[in-house]
Structure 1
């Protein structure tokens, strides 16, 4: 993902130009994650992993903390579409991620 694409992603989040996959809506409800928290993370998050050849279209994994200091991971499409599609959202787990939640544990 290029710096320009990251800026486009942030602009779409700021303007609330987001589309939530059914899976994301279900998981957010189960996990008590608000759409405002998603926008907060997208506004300043870090791209951890890039999936340019994902079978459903280019996507990436973003990490950030909400204003309430809640760590979240967000998988979303590239910002090429009119709406940025949120695929899933979750709180990273220390059983799978190193402290800081920016690197996966090696298994």
Structure 2
């Protein structure tokens, strides 16, 4: 699944929700940061029954090793939808991959 997502992003079959666009501006996440993180990433949560369609949460790292969480649609859609992206708070995540119990 992740390779299919990456492939679509590489060829421009990607769109950002307004929320993702706003958050990337507020949090200083550039398009290059997003692309770099997607190339160095893994799926950490899967949401096959998400209310707006199947999606997943990806953890990736920029070239400067900044962690990013990228919530996106499954690659079965013609265009990958980036729902949101953000830098995870270490206090809420173990190794940026596992939600802490008090945050579940």
Residue in 2 that maps onto 1:102: 97
Q: Which consecutive segments of 4 or more residues in structure 1 shift more than 2 A?
A: none
Unaligned ranges ≥5, structure 2: none
Runs of at least 5 residues in structure 1 that lack an aligned partner in the other structure = none
Q: What is the alpha-carbon distance in structure 1 between the residues aligned to residue 43 and residue 66 of structure 2?
A: 17
Higher strand share: 2
TM-score for the superposition, normalised by structure 1: 0.89
The two structures, once aligned, show a CA RMSD in angstroms of 1.0
User: Equivalents in 2 of 1:6, 1:64: separation in Å?
Assistant: 11
Q: Could you tell me the TM-score, scaled by structure 2's length? A: 0.92
The count of aligned residue pairs is 102
